[in-house]
Amino acid sequence: MMIMMTSAMYSQTSNTLTSKEKKDGWVLLFDGTSTNGWITPAGKPVPAGWEVKNGCITAIKDGKGGDIITVGEYSDFEFSVDFNIETGCNSGIKYFYTKYPTGGNLGMEYQIIDDIKGEDIHKDNHLCGSFYDVIPVPSTVNKKVNAPGEWNTIRIVSKGKKIEHWLNGVKILEFTRGDKSYTDAVALSKFNKTVPVFGMVEKGHLLLQEHGGVVSFKNIKIKTL
C-alpha cells in the first residue's frame, strides 16, 4: 500500500531545522557551509574530491573523493536527505556502515541511480530506492523519481529490525532485518559471505557514496528513535 507524507522542507531555508523539528529531536548532519561531522572511512578529513558550495555538498565528477561517513554511529533513527544527480550518475546512501569481521567495511545501501541512463540498471534491486543488490522496490509501488538535475528527498527509517525506504514522500520499500525473506535475499546477493549476516549489526555510520559521477546532497538530518 502506498503511503503519502507531507513535506514542508521546500518552504524553509536549506540546511536549517524548524522549531518543530528541533522540538521533535531532529539534528542537522550538514551545516551547508563545511564538512564538519564528516570524515573518510579511514578517519581522515573529507578530501578535495568533495566540494561545499551553494548550500550543498557535492562529489565532483571524477574527483576521486571517495565515500564519506558521519562521525557518529546510529541504530534506531529516522534520516532525511535531498539529493540531485547528473544524467547517468550512480551513488547511494549507506547505513549501518561498519567493519565486518568477515567482509570488510560494508553498509546497507539505499541505491541512488539514474534509472534510465545509469550503467548499473539491469537488475531490479539495483534501481533507485532499492536495498542495493538485496531487495528491490516492489513493482506494485508507484515510485516517482524526479529527473537528473532535479532534487529528490530520501527518508530512511530504522526501528528495531524494521527498515523503511521513502522517496519523495512515498514509502517505496519496507523489510525486516533477519526474517526469512531477508536472509534468503542476502544469500542471493554479493554480500552472502559476510559475518555476521549482512545488515545484522547493531549500529553503524551513515555514508554518502562517491561513484565517479556528480551528486549533490543537502538538508541532511537525523532523529534518533
pLDDT of residue 62: 87
Owner of C-alpha cell 549501518: 96
9 found inside a domain: no
Identify whether 170 is part of a domain. Answer: yes
The pLDDT value given to residue 18: 96
Domain assignment present for 12? no
Range of the domain at 189: 22-224
Site of grid cell 528491490: 136
Strand partners, 155: 80, 166
Sheet harboring 90-100: ordered strands across?
38-39, 68-70, 205-208, 90-100, 104-113
| pLDDT at residue 11, as a whole number | 54
Model pTM greater than 0.75? yes
Q: Could you tell me the CATH number of the domain that includes residue 44?
A: 2.60.120.560
Residue 7 belongs to a domain: no
32 is a domain residue:
yes
Query: In angstroms, rounded to a whole number, what is the distance separating the alpha carbons of residues 32 and 34?
Result: 6
Alpha-carbon span 176 to 98, nearest angstrom: 19
What is the domain count for the chain? 1
Per-residue model confidence as pLDDT tens for the chain (225 residues): 334 444 444 457 999 999 999 999 999 999 999 999 999 999 999 999 999 999 999 999 989 999 999 999 999 999 999 999 999 999 999 999 999 999 999 999 999 999 999 999 999 999 999 999 999 999 999 999 999 999 999 999 999 999 999 999 999 999 999 999 999 999 999 999 999 999 999 999 999 999 989 999 999 999 999
What pLDDT is attached to residue 8?
42
Ramachandran class of 103: left when φ > 0, alpha when ψ lies in -120 to 50, beta otherwise: left
